[in-house]
Amino acid sequence: MAFPDLATNLIYTVLCLVPGFITLKTTSYIANPDVDLTEFEKSTWSLLGSGISLSVLYFLYVISMNISSGRMMFVRPVDIGWVELVAIYPALLLVAVAIGFLCGGVLARTQALSAGVQAETSQ
């Protein structure tokens, strides 16, 4: 088995980082935080968001394969080619947006609660 060339690895890397960046942007759009993130923090949160998005999509894949096959397995091999990757990538982006909305809602609610507590303590 030969390793893919450098260009293919670069494409896979970019495709895997985009969902995390979408999650970060969706979260910041919903929650509207007052902080500016450094490049390191943006990269870190994007990597975390990508990992979570890929994990959620893999978990959904495992559930669907368990239901369709009737066999309960917690770990399933994923051997997909370019065609399957192109077909499943929009689902990965939708998962990233959904996680961004969820995290943004939680962050906005947390900010509202902490602002209410601060207003009560200042009175």
Residue pair 18/64 in contact by the 8 Å Cβ criterion: no
Mean pLDDT of the chain: 83
pTM for the structure as a whole: 0.76
Per-domain residue ranges of the chain:
41-113
Number of other residues whose CB lies within 10 A of the CB of residue 11: 13
DSSP secondary structure, 29-57, as one string: HHH--SPPPPHHHHHHHHHHHHHHHHHHH
Q: Identify the CA nearest to 85 among candidates 49, 63, 54, 59.
A: 54
Average pLDDT rounded to a whole number, residues 19-25? 92
pLDDT in tens, 46-103: 999 999 998 898 888 888 888 888 888 887 777 777 777 778 889 989 999 999 999 9
List strand residue ranges (DSSP E) for the chain, in order: none
CA distance 60 to 49: 17
pLDDT of residue 111: 82
